[in-house]
Amino acid sequence: SAVISQKPSRDICQRGTSLTIQCQVDSQVTMMFWYRQQPGQSLTLIATANQGSEATYESGFVIDKFPISRPNLTFSTLTVSNMSPEDSSIYLCSVVEGETQYFGPGTRLLVL
């Protein structure tokens, strides 16, 4: 099974600033996903990031707010730009290996 790590594990940020979250996988994967889990809510897919192509964003999410990089098959970053308190969430990286989807431990973000 894929092992996923995320950095940072948590952060507290001021509104108006940006935070870049890193996701590292221990194997090469084609499909990588970024999810958001707002307090007390289920997971919401932000975007799908495939290596070598532009990320595909879900309804309600735009590239200017959540730019994503996918430089190779084991790494991706998600930036939360111009943060507001509404961006306080857990952000999870996820990959597909075989027929199973695996999740990273998440990055807990609090925006003041």
Partner 1 sequence: AQSVTQPDIHITVSEGASLELRCNYSYGATPYLFWYVQSPGQGLQLLLKYFSGDTLVQGIKGFEAEFKRSQSSFNLRKPSVHWSDAAEYFCAVVTYSGAGSYQLTFGKGTKLSVIP
- Output the smallest distance, CB 57 to partner 1, in A: 12
DSSP state of 58: P
Segment 32-61, which members bind partner 1 (CB under 8 A)?
A: 33, 41-43, 45, 48, 56
- End-to-end Cα spacing for the chain: 36
Residues in binding contact with partner 1, number by CB under 8 A: 18
Residue 89 lies near partner 1 (rule: CB under 8 A): no
Q: Output 56 or 72, the one with its CB closest to partner 1.
A: 56
Q: Taking Cα atoms as reference points, which of 12, 10, 31, 15 lies closest to residue 83?
A: 15
CB 2 within 8 A of CB 93: no
Please identify which residue in 14, 60, 86, 99 interacts with partner 1, judged by CB under 8 A. Answer: 99
- CA–CA gap between residue 99 and residue 94 (Å, rounded): 13
> Per CB under 8 A, does 102 bind partner 1?
yes
